[in-house]
Structure 1
Amino acid sequence: MARDRIVQADPEDLSLLWSLRLSSLARLRLFNQVSAEVNNLFGVLTSITPPTTRTHVLENLLPFELDVIQARVKYWAGDHYGYADALGALLRRCKRRARSARITDADRQMWIERGARVGLIAASQFIETKDFAAATALLEPLVIQQQQPAEQQQQQPQPQPQLASELRAALGRVYLQAGQLDQAETHFAAVAADESVPESTKALNASFMASARGDWDKASEILRDLITQRGSTQAVNNLAVALLGQGKLKEGIEVLEAALETSPSTLAMAEPFLFNLSTLYELRSSIAADKKRELLIEVAKWSGDGLRTTCLKMPS
């Protein structure tokens, strides 16, 4: 639909249509096609003359989502350092626009929120590379910003309360992965005390803490309730880990296989889910190779371009 509209639309309306098309291709995991189209699109945009017009188009008319997708192209290509640099450039742009004296308070708030969300994306990249110190260093100032005295907050617009809680929850999970349980519990407690945070988020945080402390029974109970009430795919994956901690391999496999059968288009693209299922196959069955080949065939129907097949733990 986006392609047909792009062909027919007025040139002034194309920016949102390009954002729709590229986002759709990314959701389909057709990353090679996304990369080709992003390179062609920005090749045209950066050749606009005169330079003042080009700057106006890139700064004011181009949807911010397209800049994020352009940065993501580097990640899909395996250029993790280039991806970090691109995210850093987006963060600097958000800070510069938020500090501009020529924008309205509403626009300033928008750029502050964009900066916070780009910070979350950058933190997730640091977590993936196991650089927990960099992730906490990036998120801590964003969280502390929410704790400033009221008079300071009146002078500078702050991110929305929901985003502030998302930042605290993300920071707590980083501390959890770094093994700093007390720090993680402090942030999770602050999130739990916030009435605006969904109960599902609070429950998921509680399951993380229970798992980290080895209380697998409690973690399983929380996650089963989440699956029953919300149908959370993340809770399904975490429940399998909790069941593994209890030595219930067969039940863990059944939970993951049932979830994959119910939502193949979602879970066949979730690498942690596939890694956990492959691991359980290895631990449970002497015919793990056959089970993983069957899993590979199922995943191939849905996975698109970007799946790293190492998550299936197949022999080379």
Structure 2
Amino acid sequence: MSEDNKRPSAIDSLEHASPPALASAASELYVASPSPPIDEPEGPNPFLVDDPEDPLSPEPPTPRLAVHPSSSQVSVAAAVDISLSAAASPYRPPVQLPSVNVNKPVPAFPPAPSSDTESEPDAPAVYLPQLVQPTMFLPIPNTDPLTTLLTKFVANPEKRPKRDLTGEWTRSDFQTLVHSPHAPQMTNSWRALARMARDRIVEADPEDLPDVLNLWSLRLSCLSRMRLFNQTTAETTNLFTVLSAVEPPTARAYVFDTLLPFELEVLQARVRYWSGDPRGYTDALGALLRKCRRKARQGDREMWAERGARVALIAASQFVETKDFTAATRLLEPLLAQPDPTHELRSAVGRIYLQAGQLAAAERHFAAVARDPAVPQPLKDLNAAFLASARGDWARANAILGDIVDRDPENFSAVNNLGVALLGEGKLKEGIDVLETAFHAAPSTLAMAEPFLFNLSTLYELRSAVAADKKRELLIEVAKWSGDGLRTTCLKMPTN
């Protein structure tokens, strides 16, 4: 099943403090009862915590392959001709040699070569002109799902917001395409960024392989943000087909171990998910975790530990999506044993336990967060509201969330969950008013918040008399402010 056919839960939170890969999975308010166990493979153990039998100790360094010179590079000194004929040289009497001066000072030893002057083996020369060929790329469609909805549900063309589907980027820079020049919110101009990356790859020097691969990473990430999963899969396959054919094997290993951005390896694993192979996706993430563990042993532990934690969060999100909450918590719990675990991570683990119906375990994690004086009070209150909602105490949840919103109207996670809590008390109109007020106050931010839009659309449907008109107005506003890549199923408007 593709991601386009999945819809966010009606009780999704907008909590952005937790890692992005886990945000949608960890933001559910409650699950009525634990789900039955699912026949899923066990999650890979995170590399950050060592097994007693397998400590994370430095392994002996891998011997480097010596480059042997060819026969044309080896020169042999010419043999010295020695005359064997006694008549060739006249007799000379022996020469008296001077006596040896045993008191002659011994010269000092030469200084040891510094690390800067030590000879290091040169990196292998890798020349891949195939990576900059235009045939490696597919054209980006000149339409998107939002435009399709506008054409279907807004009959008057003059009322349809103008959307840039050309992807023109030459009059903008990278920062402008990512962020608004006058505000910190994202502009989500993924179409223009994808075209910019493609054009710069085609113009790049194939010998500058690190820059070419970084541009490839930008290109594929933008395509996935636009939810063009088939195109992302095709171009990712093209890229790794070229990289896997690099010869000799030592040069190929150098490319994959040294030059290839880690984000491209994550995208390659994600291809299996988009192709409908969730088990293969889990296996690929497990292979990435093992690589992070191996690399952490060999050096730069901090960088590979951070990468391993990211992969663990992605894998946990996948387990939550398949309702395998046990595997998700088994994967994330060891991360909490690391020095200085983040309170966002512990809160996310607690919310997974809420979805699994294990309220006692969730309360234990929330209590640990509440005892930490360094944790911001809004996060503590939000956890308490989640727990109250899971217990059905909607009045307490409303009181806690209302206090958060009064103190910080821009805490949109609390606003979103306040609307759901008001619905739990049967206050439908008040819930709609809370969400609409927040949307009109910050449309550029909430136009891309899919859980928020899904909840608001759901509340409109419960007021069936105004559902069609309200959702049409919401569609027009979202089209004005959102960029590329919105999952339009959150608006609950059929496309056919």
Structure-1-length-normalised TM-score = 0.79
Structure 1 residue 250, shift from structure 2 partner: 1.2
Secondary structure class of the residue paired with 2:408: helix
- Residue 89 of structure 1: how far off its partner (Å): 2.1
Q: Residue type of the partner of 1:274?
A: L
Identity across matched positions, percent = 64
1:238 aligns with 2:417: yes
Which amino acid in the other structure matches residue 138 of structure 1?
L
- Matched to 1:234, the amino acid is S
Give the deviation of 1:67 after TM superposition. Answer: 1.8
Name the counterpart of 2:492: 312
**198 and 46 in structure 1: CA distance in 2 versus 1, 3 angstrom threshold:** farther
- Answer yes or no: is 1:169 the counterpart of 2:362: no
How far the C-alpha of 1:219 sits from its partner, in A, is 2.3
Residues 263-282 of structure 1 mapped to structure 2, 5 A cutoff: 263-264=442-443, 266-282=445-461
For residues 488 and 244 of structure 2, the distance between their equivalents in structure 1, rounded to whole angstroms, comes to 32
Q: Per-residue CA shift, 1:19-39, capped at 9, x if unaligned?
A: 344444444555555444333
- 1:202-213 equivalences in 2 (<5 Å): 202-213=380-391
Matching of residue 191 in structure 1 with residue 369 in structure 2: yes
Distance, in Å, in 2 between the alignment partners of 1:263 and 1:75 is 34
- CA 300–200 in structure 1, closer or farther in 2 if over 3 Å, else same: same
CA pair 161-261 structure 1, distance change in 2 beyond 3 A: same
Unaligned segments of structure 2, at least 5 residues: 1-173, 175-195
User: Per residue, is there more helix in 1 or in 2?
Assistant: 1
- Aligned equivalent of 1:149: none
Tell me the residue number matched to 1:42: 240
Shift of 1:74: 4.0
- What TM-score do you get using the length of structure 2 for normalisation? 0.53
| Aligned mates of 1:197, 1:138 — CA distance in 2 | 23
Among 114, 118, 133, which residue is 2:307 paired with? 114
Contact 2:214 2:261 in 1 (8 A): yes
Unaligned regions of 5+ residues in structure 1, if any?
147-157
C-alpha distance after superposition, 1:269-294 (max 9, x if no partner)? 44432332222112223232343344
Compared with structure 1, are the counterparts of its residues 114 and 183 closer, same or farther at alpha carbon in structure 2 (3 Å cutoff)? same
Partner Cα separation in structure 2 for residue 79 and residue 303 of structure 1: 29
The aligned amino acid for 1:223 is L
Greater shift in the superposed pair: 194-203 or 233-242: 194-203
Task: Please state how far the C-alpha of 1:308 moved relative to its aligned partner.
Answer: 5.8
Distance 1:299 1:123, change over 3 A: same
SS in 1 for 2:375: coil
Give the distance between the partners of 1:208 and 1:244, measured in 2 at CA.
14
Which stretch shows the higher mean deviation, 192-201 or 273-282?
Answer: 192-201
Which of these residues, 245, 249, 252, is aligned with residue 54 of structure 1?
A: 252
Q: Is the radius of gyration larger for structure 1 or structure 2?
A: 2
Identify the match of residue 209 of structure 2 among 1, 4, 11: 11
